[in-house]
Amino acid sequence: MTGSDAWSGRAPRTVAEAVAVQDELRSLVDLVGPGPTAPATVAGLDVAYAESGDRLAAAVTVLDAATLAVVDEAVSVGRPAFPYVPGLFAFRELPALRDALDRLTVRPDLLVCDGHGLAHPRRFGLACHLGVVTGLPAIGVGKTPLVGEWEEPGLRRGAWTPLRDGGAEVGRVVRTRDGVKPVFVSVGHRISLDNAVDRVLALTPRYRLPETTRTADQLCRAALAATPA
DNA sequence: GCGACAG
DNA sequence: ATCTTGTCGC
């Protein structure tokens, strides 16, 4: 087995174990990038839960970066792998997301994750974790903040302000649509923050959230509904 | 001690 | 995340 599989496949069962895994994998994050400026394909990942909370569906959709048309997709239905704990969110969805990623027929050039990357208390959010275990460039796009302070960005699409935590810029608060609530963009793996923001803007020609996230969201919801308990 | 807290 | 009704606007 490869060195990476040795611990990335480890499933922590306690908060202490999960934090230890993050502290160990954090050093593997590539913060240099700069990542693809013109990726051919971009993948979106999302997970939907049954109201009972004991079942979930993870989906990955791969879009042609130029046309934003879906060129491949995969889903995985299963159980949450960990309880929801802020800061340890990745352990909950990672197994199912990796399973879905393994079912793709094409390897995307970039991952757009539904959650934060470096904008995390230990600088290792879901986007970093997914980037490290797949080796792919990854971006984190959160709908609400987890850490940091920021000023409200301008009202026009494209406006942004730095998201700072502990003195460092851990991400950016980006207005993807005129007058609409901004999203929180942060680096996951193998990409620069500048490029990450550009990539997110390229994926939001019409809605607040990236097309990748939207298509993945629709797919996992449909998969969950089509798979009765 | 109290509040905050990705999805 | 999910539950929720109507409502304002393009």
Q: What is the CATH number of the domain that holds A167?
A: 3.30.2170.10
Beta-carbon count within 10 A of A215 CB: 22
pLDDT at residue number A139: 98
Query: Which residue(s) pair with A174 in the sheet?
Result: A160, A183
**DSSP β-ladder status, A138-142 and A160-165:** unpaired
Tell whether A158 is covered by a domain: yes
Amino acid A112 CA to nucleotide B7 C1' distance, rounded Å: 15
| Full residue range of the structural domain in which residue A112 is found | 31-225
What mean pLDDT do residues A131-160 have? Answer: 97
Amino acid A166 CA to nucleotide C5 C1' distance, rounded Å: 42
- Please tell me whether residue A91 adopts helix, strand or coil conformation: helix
Q: How many independent structural domains does chain A possess?
A: 1
Residues 19-48 of A with CB under 7 A from strand C: 47-48
Tell whether A24 is covered by a domain: no
Q: How far apart are CA A50 and CA A221, in angstroms?
A: 9
Q: How far apart are CA A115 and CA A110, in angstroms?
A: 15
pLDDT digits (tens, 9 = 90+) for A52-72: 999 999 999 999 999 999 999
Sequence-distant (≥ 6) Cβ neighbours of residue A167 within 8 angstroms: none
pLDDT at residue number A5: 44
pLDDT at residue number A228: 82
Tell whether A119 is covered by a domain: yes
What percentage of chain A carries pLDDT values higher than 90?
93
Which amino acid belongs to residue A193?
Answer: L
Sequence-distant (≥ 6) Cβ neighbours of residue A152 within 8 angstroms: A161, A173, A182
Q: How far apart are CA A55 and CA A62, in angstroms?
A: 24
- The mean of the pLDDT values for chain A is 94
Tell whether A36 is covered by a domain: yes
pLDDT at residue number A9: 56
The answer to whether A194 is annotated as binding is no
Amino acid A227 CA to nucleotide B4 C1' distance, rounded Å: 35
pLDDT at A24 over 50: yes
